[in-house]
Amino acid sequence: MKNLLKPNGKIIVNTKLKINNEVYSFDGNSISDSLKLPVVNTVMLGTISALSEIVESDDIYKAIELYMPNQIQDRNKKAVFYAIKEVSE
């Protein structure tokens, strides 16, 4: 598995289980379930934002405003916020 990662690369897995020290385990389903989101993709994007410099949270929030229907924007913004908060703790 190490040979597939770039230097300082990270593996993020959506699970409640602790896998090992090389894999970042994150329970994104709990956040998406609490916000009644049918999928966990926005939560995981928030996790990626918190763990890397690939995408900034402000850019995610702007994309949500530009591309998601108004009725789901707030829940998706909260999904990003809670994911970042959880990773940062």
Alpha-helix residue ranges (DSSP H) falling in 27-69: 28-34, 41-51, 57-67
Predicted confidence (pLDDT) per residue in 24-81, tens digit: 999 999 999 999 999 999 999 999 999 988 899 999 999 999 999 999 999 999 999 9
Residue pair 31/14 in contact by the 8 Å Cβ criterion:
no
3 state DSSP class of 42: helix
- Number of residues that make up the chain: 89
Q: Read off the pTM.
A: 0.87
> Over 90: is that where the pLDDT of 89 sits?
no
